[in-house]
Amino acid sequence: MYPRMDCFKKIIIIIIITTFTFPQKIYIHAGRLIDGITEIPVEMVTIIINGSTIQSILRGHIKPQSENDKLINLKDYTVLPGLMDMHTHLSGESNPKSYMEKFYMDLDEYAYRSIPYAEKTLMAGFTTVRELGGVISNSLRDAIKSGYVIGPRIFSAGKSIATTGGHADPSSGLNMKFTSDPGPKDGVINGISDARKAVRQRYKNGADLIKITATGGVLSVAKNSKNPQFTEQEIKAIVETAQDYDMHVAAHAHGPEGMKRAIRAGVHSIEHGTIMDGEVLALMKKYGTYYIPTISAGMFVAAKAKEPGYYPQIIVPKALEIGPRLLNTFTTAYKFGIKIAFGTDSGVSYHGENAKEFLYMVKGGMSEMEAIRSATVVASELLGIDDKLGTIESGKIADIIAVTGNPVKDITSLQSVVFVMKEGIIYKSE
């Protein structure tokens, strides 16, 4: 009995010491603040963090009120909300041997490899990502949430849904000895019944949303990157079933017919959208469909396709055709007034280089502030979390980053992140 009492007393003492020794609040002295609300950055601001929440934002640099409070001096930097990437693949990263990985890599190897990719993404200032297809996406999300792994907040689609022979059919392009006929459990459907079952399986596996491959793809081992690969009825069944489980649907699409079917069927976002025509743009505006450009991926595959042996030969002409078109597509969509949220397709390009996308968006016609908002306010609206994240406001979650320079004048400064806070915890502070 007495040893137990001693142990209990020790616990009480530790709680008391922790309560009165650890910082009660964090004060951030920002030299310049882009809060995601106002169009013009505000100079000399103090942000007060209480736990995982932003308590208040005050003009001027206010001294901490208690000796237990912590002061972060960012007077020489620009402070922004944590950035959000709406299209990532943290399970892997482009390399010349990636097409062989499925033959020799186990799931636990994919999981271990994803750890540095997740950390690179967070350290690049991206505190939230939408993970659109990956073999370990759900478990990586859970590991980060549990504190086992350092990385961004993940909204996971789990395994993408395809049709037989489609862009996300895991058996496409294999030797006949290794190929198979995967079904809804594996994310391959044919018909309305399969479509509903595949969505329910994703829900059962713990996905937050659904990703479909509405057309062929550049990097799949198949000749066509533009053809539609679902009927409109199949997509509608996927969307309706996803809505039953409070999930939205993201649609990979390059060709116009596949996009039209997906938009009419009610998908939430079009990814890539390379060959948009006037009808596609009009439909997106009518239905309020988000556009995720992934210009970085297009630039990357177009460059790598020129390196002999980097991709299988069947992929090279697709990469050379599709990749360079994304920037012009972005410009057209932007001028048309489509809702654009930031997304890179990171994994196709290198992890941790997500902020390069901002430069392409500005080259494509967006202002610097609009590009920043696409990765903060607009992305949070797409995810339906704009009441919690996307801006620096009182009561919101404390996802805060800082960069050198002024990104409103030089968008490349977003590639120089010196400070990262996620949910009030500091992960990077140079």
* pLDDT, position 215: 96
| pLDDT, tens digit (0-9, with 9 covering 90-100), for 7-46 | 445 444 444 444 444 568 999 999 999 999 999 999 999 9
Give the helix, strand, coil percentages of the chain, each rounded to 5. Answer: 35, 20, 40
Task: Specify the DSSP element, H or E, that contains 269.
Answer: strand 269-272
For residues 206 and 184, what is the distance between their CA atoms, to the nearest angstrom?
A: 15
Give helix 192-204 / helix 232-244 axis angle, nearest 10°. 30
Claim to verify: residue 220 and residue 287 sit in the same structural domain: yes
| pLDDT, tens digit (0-9, with 9 covering 90-100), for 175-233 | 566 667 778 898 899 999 999 999 999 999 999 999 999 999 888 777 778 899 999 99
* pLDDT, position 14: 43
| pLDDT, tens digit (0-9, with 9 covering 90-100), for 246-258 | 999 999 999 999 9
Cα-based distances in Å from 106 to 103, 113, 357: 9, 11, 32
162 CB contacts (<8 Å, ≥6 apart)?
168, 169, 187, 188, 189, 212, 213, 229
Q: Both tokens of residue 54? A: 């932003």
Say if 291 falls within a structural domain.
yes
Q: What is the mean pLDDT of residues 343-370?
A: 97
Residues 137, 91 contacting (CB under 8 angstroms): yes
Residues 86, 374 contacting (CB under 8 angstroms): no
In this predicted structure, the answer to whether residue 169 has a pLDDT above a threshold of 70 is no
Q: What is the mean pLDDT of residues 132-151?
A: 96
∠392-397-402 over CA atoms, to 5°?
Answer: 50
Q: Place 139 in a pLDDT band, splitting at 50, 70 and 90.
A: very high
CATH number at residue 42: 2.30.40.10
Say if 252 falls within a structural domain.
yes
Q: How many CA atoms lie within 13 A of 286 on its CB side?
A: 11
For residues 137 and 351, what is the distance between their CA atoms, to the nearest angstrom?
A: 15
* pLDDT, position 171: 63
Listed residue (116, 126, 145) closest to 86, CA to CA = 126
For residues 155 and 384, what is the distance between their CA atoms, to the nearest angstrom?
A: 11
Say if 230 falls within a structural domain.
yes
Claim to verify: residue 58 and residue 184 sit in the same structural domain: no
Claim to verify: residue 64 and residue 93 sit in the same structural domain: no
| pLDDT, tens digit (0-9, with 9 covering 90-100), for 90-138 | 999 988 888 777 777 888 999 999 999 999 999 999 999 999 998 899 9
CATH number at residue 366: 3.20.20.140
